[in-house]
Amino acid sequence: MSDERGSVELVDVTKRFGTMVAVDQLNLEVKAGEFLSLLGPSGCGKTTTLRMLAGFDQPDEGFIRISGQYVQGVPPYKRDVNTVFQHYALFPHMTVSENVAYGLRQKRVPKHEVAGRVAEALDMVKMTKLADRRPKQMSGGQQQRVAVARALVNRPSVLLLDEPLGALDRKLREEMQIELKLLQSQLGITFVFVTHDQEEAMGMSDRIAIMLEGHVEQLADPESVYERPASAFVAGFIGRNNFWLGVSTGHGVQAEDGTLFASSTPEERVREGQQALAAVRPESVQLSSTDPGGSTNVIQGTVAGVSHYGDVLQYVVRTKEKDVLALLPRQGAIRLAPGDAVWCHWNATEVYQFSAEQADLVMAEPALEAAAH
């Protein structure tokens, strides 16, 4: 791997806490200057991975390189990284300027240089006018900007962000997502961003490492993980999916209720006769009030619920095996009411098939429960 400043490499990294394996032989490369998100459910190992990059935890096996340098045993303050946490840990008795300057003063940076670098960092995050305020006088979003400025003032090659937007309300979180991505693009600093929020990762990242049980399940750009998921878990975790359990026919899946899912997608082909999962995204489901005909990729049901989301209508259709989610653009969409008979159908190009190994992970949440979130 290149020793370019800002590159990150983890090779066969394992971290245990007692008998629990938090990170399991993890291999990951982060390119210099990219925005990479570690995404996954609670307990998948993403925060432990970030803590090892920061130096707060040390790997039990494997090694880590940052900017081409091995960092085993190197304490956090001697690494060319800085960390922004969910709870910003600002000093309440200090002003914004004093908080941002703290790290520089600890490093005994000359006073005249401290003032210039603090001003530069505050300007980056649009906080110059609030330089004399204290944390309790600021909103959550303003405090978050100060925390970012405090990390950037040290001019690290890698910025580590541990769920930094988690404490903000939805509207402010969305605004800060845009600001952080723009800032990263302007500075060209490597960002490693931990989140459990799929939309956040999809909207901000150059690439996403989707983690499960201490390893990376898929590493790719947002479009690829959405359009070409490497496993059933990824297909269910990124966006939503309707899943059916059945048996592979060699060209698709026959579900337990007899529904045939013809598939032309190449993902994780399953040998004929093996247990398999068929998956169809809600936006790929078409609805008709009359039988569209055909013996594959069609299932009959009854409308159980309708939800309105701006320019999208969400239907929950109850079939004999399960509830099916369908997302239709409001303009031109068929209008149905609870109790109406309806046929769900889709194209073979929209059917994914996977092995059934992860069935327990993806079949747990019925559509009606998902619709409530």
- Which tokens sit at 197? 């929020």
Number of helices and strands in the chain (H, E) = 10, 20
Decide: pTM greater than 0.85.
yes
Does residue 74 have a pLDDT over 60? yes
Does residue 4 have a pLDDT over 70? yes
Does residue 369 have a pLDDT over 70? no
Q: Which pLDDT score is estimated for 367?
A: 46
Q: In this predicted model, what pLDDT tens digit does every residue of 102-119 receive, in sequence order?
A: 988 888 889 889 999 999
Q: In this predicted model, what pLDDT tens digit does every residue of 113-136 receive, in sequence order?
A: 999 999 999 988 888 999 999 999
Q: Does domain 234-371 bear CATH number 1.10.238.10? A: no
Sorted by where each begins, the domain ranges of the chain are 8-227, 234-371
Does residue 302 have a pLDDT over 60? yes
CATH number of 8-227: 3.40.50.300
Q: How many residues does the chain have?
A: 373
Closest CA to 296 of 246, 371, 330, 337: 246
Q: Which pLDDT score is estimated for 364?
A: 64
Q: How confident is the model at residue 220 (pLDDT cuts 50, 70, 90)?
A: very high
Q: Which pLDDT score is estimated for 370?
A: 41
Instruction: Tell me, yes or no, if the two domains 8-227 and 234-371 fold the same way.
Output: no
Q: Which pLDDT score is estimated for 316?
A: 96
Q: Which pLDDT score is estimated for 23?
A: 97
Closest CA to 149 of 112, 108, 178, 117: 117
Cβ-count burial 290-301 (b if 16+ within 10 Å, e if not)? eeeeeebbbbeb
